[in-house]
Amino acid sequence: MSLQDLDETLSERLWALTEMFPESVRSASSKITSFSWSATKWLYGMSRSGMWVMASSATLLALPVMFENERALMEEQQMQQQRQVSYNILVAVCLRLYLETYFYQYYIY
């Protein structure tokens, strides 16, 4: 017995099983299967569309906010760096004035 004979025998046996049930049961089973397949395809298509709408909406709404936050953060960092540089310059000037005054008082006289 070859594999092809076994497949045909199996398919014939399965087909023979359908004849055990009345036409109404087979028809109802076919309709339920068809409905389930159609509902699955519809649900899959709707979920894809819904995910596309949600992802694109989130992208269009969230990205500008994220970019603006990043820009504001960069500006704040630049201002902080400028303040730090200004503070360092002020400290250097004050230190120089103090040292000039100190050396002027003690080494000139």
**pLDDT in the model for residue 84:** 93
**pLDDT in the model for residue 53:** 96
pLDDT reading at 3 higher than 60: no
d(CA 19, CA 23) in angstroms, rounded, equals: 8
Cβ-Cβ contacts under 8 Å for 21 (sequence gap 6 or more): 29
What are the domain boundaries of the chain? 3-107
* Structure confidence by residue, pLDDT tens digits, 62-105: 989 999 999 999 999 999 999 999 999 989 999 888 888 877 77
For the entire predicted model, the pTM comes to: 0.48
* Structure confidence by residue, pLDDT tens digits, 12-64: 887 778 788 888 988 999 999 999 999 999 999 999 999 999 999 999 999 89
